[in-house]
Amino acid sequence: MLEPRPMALTSEQRAEIEAQRNEPQLTSRPTVPAMEKLLFTPIEVLDHGFLRVVDYMGDDGAVVQAARVSYGRGTKKVSEDAGLIRYLMRHRHSTPFEMCEIKFHVKLPVFVARQWIRHRMASVNEYSARYSILDREFYLPALDQVASQSASNRQGRSEALDPETAERVLEILRRDASQCYDDYESMLDPEGTGLARELARMNLTLNTYTQWYWKIDLHNLMHFLALRADPHAQYEIRVYAEKMIELLHAWVPATAAAFEEYRRGAFTFSAGMLNVVRRRLAGEAVTQETSGLSKREWIEMNDILEPEA
C-alpha cells in the first residue's frame, strides 16, 4: 500500500496543499476514493525529490466505457469489465486507455529530467530558471548507488565502489555542487555582477533539483512505466517510475493488473525466436548456430526461457 510521506516543504507550500485538501469540490464526474486520499500529497523520492498527483480524469470504468462506446457507466459485472481491459491490453489496443489522464507535480534532479523529457507524448511545464532562482538543493546518491562503469553496458553502472572510494566521490559531488551554487548566487547579486538569471543558470550542476507539472494519458503513462521501471533503467528515474506504478494501482486497479500481466511481466519473442521454441517443443536440439538467430538474440531468448541457467 502506498503511504504518502510529506517532504520538508516550506510553510507556504504546506499551507497551499492543506487548502487544496480541505476544500473538496462537488463533481458529477467519476472519482476514485483511493486517489482522492492521495491527491496533492507529496510522496518522497530520492533525497530531496517528490512526486504528487495534482489531478486525474477517468478510471477503469472510463476505459471500458470508451471501448464499448456506451452512454453511461454500464451494467456489466466488474469481472466482465476486467476481462475486457485484459483483452484490450493483451491485443495492444491504445485509444480506450487514452481516455484517462493524470497530472503530476514532480521534483527531480536535472539529469533525471533530461531522460524523462524524451517521452514526448505528454504536456510539460517546468520551473523557469530564467524567471526564478533555483533552490540550493542537489541530489547526492546513497553510498550503495555510487558504482563503477559497467563493462558490458555503455550507459549503465556495475558494482558499488568500496565505501572509502564512494565517500571521496560524494565529497567531490557535494563540493562542486556547492561551489557552483555559490558562484551562481554571486553572479546574480545585483550589488556584484548582476548577471541575468538565464545566463547565471549555466553554471549549475546537473544534480541540481528542478520541478515540473507533467500531464499524460494512461496509455502513454504505461509506456513510460514499462521502460523506466525496467531493471535496465537508471536507478534514479526507476525509483520515480516504481512510485508511479503504486499510484497506477490506486487509480485504475484493473488496468494496472493487466499492465503487470501483459506488459511489465511479459516478453516479446521475434518470429525467429518463436520458431526456435516450436522446434524445441518438437524435440529438436537447436543450437545458436542452427537457430538462425544472432548471438545477442540467442542470449536474450535463453535468459527469458532459462533465467537460472
Q: Are 122 and 215 in contact (CB under 8 A)?
A: yes
3-state secondary structure 13-46: HHHHHHHHHCCCCCCCCCCCHHHHHHCCCCEEEC
Compute the distance between CA of residue 77 and CA of residue 99 in angstroms, rounded to an integer: 21
Please indicate whether residue 258 or residue 152 has the higher confidence score (pLDDT): 258
Low-confidence winner among 6-20, 24-38, 168-182 (lowest mean pLDDT) = 6-20
Looking at the predicted structure, is the pLDDT value of residue 3 above 50? no
What is the model's pTM? Answer: 0.88
Catalytic residue among 21, 228, 238, 280: 228
Cell digits of residue 214: 507533467
pLDDT of residue 19: 77
Strands annotated E in 265-307: none
Per DSSP, the three-state class of 3 is coil
For residue range 254-301, list pLDDT tens digits in order: 999 999 999 998 889 999 999 999 999 999 999 999 999 999 999 999
Asked if residue 266 belongs to a known ligand binding site, the reply is no
Collect contacts of 146-152 with beta carbons under 8 A, ≥24 apart: 146/170
228 is annotated as contributing to ligand binding: yes
Helix (H) or strand (E) holding 155: none
Q: Known binder of ligand: residue 86?
A: no
What would the pLDDT profile of 88-134 be if each residue is shown by its tens digit?
A: 999 999 999 999 999 999 999 999 999 999 999 999 999 999 999 99
CA distance 258 to 264: 9
Q: How confident is the model at residue 75 (pLDDT cuts 50, 70, 90)?
A: low
E strand or H helix that includes residue 84: helix 78-90
Please compute, for residue 8, the number of CA atoms within 13 A of its CA located in the half-sphere on the CB side: 4
Please answer whether residues 174 and 140 qualify as being in contact, where contact means their C-beta atoms are separated by less than 8 angstroms: yes
Distance CA 136, CA 206 (A): 13
pLDDT of 78 higher than 90: no
- Would the annotation count 201 as a binding residue? yes
The helix/strand/coil state of 293 is: coil
Q: Dump the DSSP string for 185-252.
A: HHHH-TTTT---HHHHGGGS-TTBEEEEEEEEEHHHHHHHHHHHTSTTS-HHHHHHHHHHHHHHHHH-
**Per-residue pLDDT at 6 exceeds 50:** no
Residue 120 assigned ligand-binding role: yes
Among the listed ranges 43-52, 66-75, 218-227, 289-298, which one has the minimum average pLDDT value? 66-75
Q: Which amino acid is at 192?
A: G
Closest among 156, 139, 140, 157 to 148, alpha carbons compared? 157
- Whole-angstrom distance, CA of residue 66 vs CA of residue 246: 24
Is residue 228 among the annotated active site residues? yes
